[in-house]
Amino acid sequence: MTWTNSKDTTLRERAMAVIPNGMYGHQSVMLLPDDYPQFFDRAQGAYLWDADGNRYVDFLCGYGPNLFGYGHAGIDQAYVDQMKRGDTMTGPGPVMVELAETLVAQVSHADWAMFCKNGTDATTMAMMIARNFTQKKTIVLAKGAYHGAQPWCTPLKNGTTPSDRAHQVFYEYNDVESLEAAVREAGSDLAAIFASPIKHDTFVDQELPDPEYARRARELCDEHGALLIVDDVRAGFRLARDCGWSLVGVKPDLSSWGKAIANGHPISALLGADIARFAAATIYATGSYWFSAAPMAASLATLKLIRETDYLERTITLGERLRSGLGEAASRHGFGLRQTGPAQMPLIMVDDDPTGAKGYFWNNALLKRGVYFHPWHNMFMTSAMTDADIDHAIEAADDAFKLLKAAGPLEPVAKLEFLHAVAG
Ligand SMILES: Cc1ncc(COP(=O)(O)O)c(C=O)c1O
């Protein structure tokens, strides 16, 4: 089928009139190559169809939730069955207790669970619980890490006040000295250290956690009576069947979850150790949809698959196949690729590309060949992908490199100029 985008163009024009700037947040394609579709018609398994009917192997997986495939029959059946019995009711269903029991059994540091809707709800509650627990204010965070879109953590400061960001000190991920310096700066006011399980910031190479850094974060929290918070919203159950830092042998006091825990159904969670139970019980946190039963049933079905299938090993194997195939394709055409992070959550950037022009060109060419990649955000594998999907992506990448080589020097990407301004 020939690639067209006339329906998307019309939808964008209509959206411009009734949605601020046509779209907002990280799912706005404003910072992606111009041809990237903004609106999607449907999704199934590993595939996504845009409003014009173009099909893509989707390596964004809904920015993380798609772990077992879009529209997974078993998970969706659990959702529908519960929805028919009752979803958003005057109180939660028995399924809430079962889900809390299941997560507590599954995640080794957890003794209790609370449920909410978005990852930001969970990270915000984590911060409040740490402040309630310590009766202190300062949180220490890794520079550039994303923890959500509330005034205290949104990456764009418009509409926030300096006081929303008060009592925050930043450190460099994986850098023990800078972590220690941040904790020193917090002084006697340290409430928590936040860490992502891996460094998965946008625009920069990903990093696995250095065990020494993770252990030091634990020690510093223990020395200061503060809480260690691991934000597993994006990487949860993609690195391990336990908390992400189980891989480096470090147990946090609190961990925040979302995205993959219900394969895309709207639910997030905060898990905690006994030490923080009373502090968690004495903050006020709620939402009209936080106790809806159907997403909880979907989460239970997802967790069963997490326990009982080889999804994790499968996504790693698929990711490794992609990584080596892309590496070979790049060098065949004289390009370098920086493929960082775990194979099942790859960030792929074209090397020697200071303005982003090569990456944009290459990603756009992949898009036109039915492969949805992202030029500067980490991607995700879903266990619904097949070897044939990966091989299709590698073939498309090979073609795209050929085109990139033929294109010669490229103009800098105007929409990314703000990055260079920031970098100075
Ligand atoms: C690490 C991390 N924390 C928190 C969030 C916020 O989650 P949500 O967008 O569901 O509020 C995200 C979302 O991408 C995330 O990646």
Tell me the CA–centroid distance for residue 380 and ligand 1, in Å: 14
Same domain (yes/no): 299, 333: no
Among 115, 199, 259, the mutation site with the greatest number of ligand 1 atoms within 8 A of its Cβ is 259
Dist CA 384 CA 54 (whole Å): 19
* Domain end position, chosen among 273, 308, 343: 308
What's the whole-number mean pLDDT along residues 59-85?
98
Is 68 among the domain residues?
A: no
Characterise 53 by phi-psi region: left (phi > 0), alpha (psi -120 to 50), beta (else). left
**Considering only CA atoms, which residue is closest to atom 16 of ligand 1?**
234
Q: Nearest CA to 118 among 267, 302, 235, 243?
A: 267
1 lies in a domain? no
Q: Rounded distance, CA 103 to CA 132, Å?
A: 24
Helices (H), 264-386: 277-281, 293-308, 311-332, 357-368
What's the rounded Cα separation, in Å, for the pair 236 and 122?
13
Looking at the fold, whether 112 and 133 belong to one and the same domain comes out as yes
Tens of pLDDT along 113-140? 999 999 999 999 999 999 999 999 999 9
Ligand 1 atom 3: the closest Cα is on which residue?
147
Span 153-165, mean pLDDT?
A: 96
389 sits in which H/E element: helix 387-407
Using pLDDT thresholds of 50, 70 and 90, give the confidence band for residue 419.
confident
Of 167-171, 172-176, 347-351, 410-414, the range with the lowest mean pLDDT is 410-414
The pLDDT score that the predictor gives to residue 418 is 84
**Mean local confidence (pLDDT), 414-424:** 75
How many whole angstroms separate alpha carbon 115 and alpha carbon 269? 4
pLDDT of 357 > 50? The answer is yes
* pLDDT value, residue 422: 62
Would you say residue 209 lies in a domain?
yes
Domain CATH code at residue 196: 3.40.640.10
Structural domain that includes position 109:
73-308
Q: Of 291, 308, 325, at which residue does a domain stop?
A: 308
CATH number at residue 396: 3.90.1150.10
**d(Cα 336, Cα 264) in Å, to the nearest integer?**
34
pLDDT digits (tens, 9 = 90+) for 217-260: 999 999 999 999 999 999 999 999 999 999 999 999 999 999 99
Q: What single DSSP character describes residue 69?
A: -
Same domain, 298 and 321: no
One domain for residues 255 and 355: no
Rounded-to-integer distance, Cα 233 and Cα 127, Å: 14
CB 203 within 8 A of CB 212: no
pLDDT in tens, 90-104: 999 999 999 999 999
Q: What is the pLDDT of residue 198?
A: 98
Model pLDDT, residue 420: 74
Pocket of ligand 1 (CB under 6 A): 63, 118-120, 123, 146-148, 196, 231, 233-234, 258
Report how many domains make up the chain.
Answer: 2
Distance 228 CA to ligand 1 centre (A): 18
**59 vs 26, which has greater pLDDT?**
59
Interval 13-22: pLDDT, tens: 999 999 999 9
| Strand, coil or helix: 344 | coil
Q: How far, in Å, CA of 366 to CA of 372, rounded? A: 7
- Coil vs helix vs strand at 371: strand
Tell me: do 370 and 398 sit in the same domain.
Answer: yes
* Model pLDDT, residue 150: 97
Assess whether 16 and 101 both reside in one domain: no
Q: How far apart are CA 300 and CA 418, in angstroms?
A: 43
Residue-level pLDDT at 424: 45
- Residue 270 belongs to what H/E stretch? strand 268-272
Determine the 3-state secondary structure of 376 from DSSP: coil
Under the banding of pLDDT at 50, 70 and 90, the label for residue 307 is very high
CA distance 150 to 160: 9
pLDDT over 70 percentage in the chain: 99
- pLDDT at residue 423, rounded to an integer: 53
Same-domain status, 143 and 288: yes
The overall average pLDDT reported for the chain is: 97
What does the alpha-carbon distance between residue 210 and residue 259 come to, in Å, rounded to a whole number? 25
- Of 308, 334, 360, which closes a domain? 308
CB 69 within 8 A of CB 382: yes
Is pTM beyond 0.95? Reply is yes
Are 292 and 328 part of one and the same domain? Answer: no
